[in-house]
Amino acid sequence: MLQTLLKSVRQYRKASILTPLYVSLEVVLECLLPLMMARLIDEMTGDSMAPILKYGAILAVLAMFSLVFGTLSGKEAATASCGFARNLRQDLYFKIQDFSFADIDHFSTSSLVTRMTTDVTNVQNAYQMIIRIAVRTPLMIIFSVVMTMSISVRISLIFLVLIPILAAALIGISLYVHPIFRSVFRKYDALNNSVQENVAAIRVVKSFVREDYEKKKFEKAADEVCQDFTRAEKLLALNSPIMMLCIYVALMLVSFFGARIIIGSAGTELTTGELSSLINYGVQILSTMMMLSMVFVMISMAMESGSRIAEVLNHESVLTSPENGITEVTDGRVEFTHVSFRYKEGSGDYALSDIDLKIEAGQTVGIIGGTGSAKTTLIQLISRLYDVTEGQVLVSGRDVRDYDLESLRNEVAVVLQKNVLFSGTIKENLRWGDPNASDEELVRVCKLAQADEFIEQFPDKYDTHIERGGANVSGGQKQRLCIARALLKKPKILILDDSTSAVDTKTDALIRRAFAEEIPDTTKIIIAQRISSVQDADMILVMDNGRIVEQGTHEELVAQRGIYWEAYDSQTRSKEAV
């Protein structure tokens, strides 16, 4: 885990190295202050101001340089930790961009959001403490103990006994709390999932008046997180009283035994100034241990967060481009050879079973079937959004797994069932298909997708701002913009996954006619519920339970009097009734 995370330090290595260096210099200077104070006390006789001026100047210089190095260490620590967090978020984001649909399903969207936000923040805070406070603590303890031993070995034994007791208490609490934090972050994922679902589907929630139900669901998830955090915080709260008890016990023992030594030796074995410095060193040691307890708290949280981040960074996507993959798709031929597929290897039923299919370049293929018949699953294999479990999917005569992923997907444009628009202008959304497209090209594809008419009615036309998710346009308008965006790619294969369901039949017919006339060489695969959307196709597939159960032209399938005819007859009678 540490090896994985530390790769993200990169350009902030210098700041990460300078921080402990400045901290070390700060600690050395702080440890010299009590020693100078002891000499000042011992040399003050009341006869002259010379000792006060001499040691006062030394103390001022030491304090000033200690402040300078402390400020520099804080500055470098902030730079290193914030930069480290920036790189971590960037590495996570870039890694997720390469994930397949199966990888996203494995982690869940809400969990990935938590890892990029809460978990990275925890690691950032812990990293800052580690390179600063975790370095300062052992150095302060070592230097302070050495100083106390140079003054009085017997008194220093008090600290040598207390330090391992405190360390054992801290480690014990930390080990006990760590599993609780592991549970907390899993529940954080559930909490974020509740929020994400609610916000994304807020219109549905309000339409069905389910606000109270969603509130109770959120409240339950929030209470579970709160309860686990409360358990952990109750245990971690023991750090402070344990530390304070040890500090006061140590100061009492140092004062008691120090006073006895001074009185017993008449000040020859231990002076008043040295006793004062011993007390100061004791406070430094034990207050440093108190700071260490804070580090343990943060590290306890960050350990689980770091594991979750490393899990994503180390995850190997199930879909990768082959080395020296094919970069050219010559035409839009598609062939399925004994293809079977299931979402999780080794578990569950097959979503697709023994699919054999051949589509020639330029053909228009319609696919219909009931909900859950695996229509979408079938077309997702063409652009390799998932990999087949058995068999082969061929594009232009080559297995899709032999293609460079980017090259393949650039030639297979998919207008998914749940396409979204992004915040920005219509032009910016359309240019997802081709960043270099001219304004004339934008207008041309929008005319093909029957989108130009409504765009021209907007006051700002193609510069109209689209809100996140396309919230300020209708479902039909959103679908037509997504079709236009896909056409800009000039693909060899165009897949429409029920992407004209929100447009009227007239507009649907105009879109299909434009496809036939303007892009005759592009293979067009249309998934639809309306028979009218596919009846002019060169070939129609009827799917049921992951299999192709009927195949042929509209006339052939009607003549078979099967599933297709039943759907056609039902929709025809519905129209006549209207």
| Residues of the chain predicted below pLDDT 70 | 45-47, 174, 178, 182, 200, 236, 239-240, 267, 290, 293, 346-348, 417, 502, 573-578
- Looking at residue 90, its pLDDT comes to 92
Q: Which residues pair with 547 in a beta bridge?
A: 544
**Distance in angstroms (rounded) separating the CA atoms of residues 547 and 349:** 13
Q: How many CB atoms lie under 10 A from the CB of residue 505?
A: 12
**Distance in angstroms (rounded) separating the CA atoms of residues 196 and 114:** 11
* 64, two tokens: 């000033």
Edge-first strand order for the sheet with 493-497 is: 412-415, 493-497, 523-527, 364-369, 539-544, 547-552
The Cα-based distances of 426 to 429, 431, 467, 533 in angstroms read 5, 9, 10, 26
Coil vs helix vs strand at 22: helix
Yes or no: say if 310 and 5 are a contact pair by the CB < 8 Å rule: yes
Residue with tokens 């006990």: 176
pTM above 0.75, yes or no: no
Cα 162 to the center of its chain, rounded Å: 42
**Distance in angstroms (rounded) separating the CA atoms of residues 181 and 231:** 10
**CB crowding 195-219: b at 16 or more within 10 Å, else e:** eebbeeeeeebeeeeeeeebeeeee
DSSP 8-class letter at 519? -
Yes or no: say if 151 and 274 are a contact pair by the CB < 8 Å rule: yes
129-152 residue pLDDT tens: 888 888 888 888 888 888 888 888
HEC letters along 480-509: HHHHHHHHCCCCCEEEEECCCCCCCHHHHH
Picking from 388, 378, 374, the residue whose alpha carbon sits closest to that of residue 318 is 388
- DSSP labels, 281-324: HHHHHHHHHHHHHHHHHHHHHHHHHHHHHHHHHTPPPS--PPTT
Residue with tokens 């509130």: 215
Start-to-end CA distance of the chain, whole Å, equals: 65
- Looking at residue 79, its pLDDT comes to 93
**Distance in angstroms (rounded) separating the CA atoms of residues 272 and 253:** 16
**Distance in angstroms (rounded) separating the CA atoms of residues 144 and 127:** 25
**Distance in angstroms (rounded) separating the CA atoms of residues 285 and 166:** 11
**Distance in angstroms (rounded) separating the CA atoms of residues 482 and 379:** 17
Yes or no: say if 415 and 333 are a contact pair by the CB < 8 Å rule: no
- Looking at residue 178, its pLDDT comes to 67
DSSP 8-class letter at 344? B
In total, the chain counts a number of residues equal to 578
Instruction: Name the CA radius of gyration of the chain, rounded.
Output: 35
The Cα-based distances of 301 to 131, 176, 380 in angstroms read 17, 12, 40
* 183, two tokens: 């549970």
Q: How many CB atoms lie under 10 A from the CB of residue 525?
A: 26
**Distance in angstroms (rounded) separating the CA atoms of residues 78 and 16:** 10
**Distance in angstroms (rounded) separating the CA atoms of residues 478 and 201:** 17
- Looking at residue 392, its pLDDT comes to 92
Pairing of the two strands 523-527 and 539-544: unpaired
238-289 residue pLDDT tens: 766 777 777 778 778 888 888 888 887 776 777 777 778 888 877 777 777 7
Q: How many CB atoms lie under 10 A from the CB of residue 97?
A: 7
Yes or no: say if 285 and 224 are a contact pair by the CB < 8 Å rule: no
Picking from 479, 528, 489, the residue whose alpha carbon sits closest to that of residue 364 is 528
Residue with tokens 């997720």: 96
Coil vs helix vs strand at 493: strand
* 113, two tokens: 């959001």
- Looking at residue 83, its pLDDT comes to 92
Q: Which residues pair with 393 in a beta bridge?
A: 336
- DSSP labels, 136-175: HHHHHHHHHHHHHHHH-HHHHHHHHHHHHHHHHHHHHHHH
Yes or no: say if 422 and 472 are a contact pair by the CB < 8 Å rule: no
- Looking at residue 574, its pLDDT comes to 55
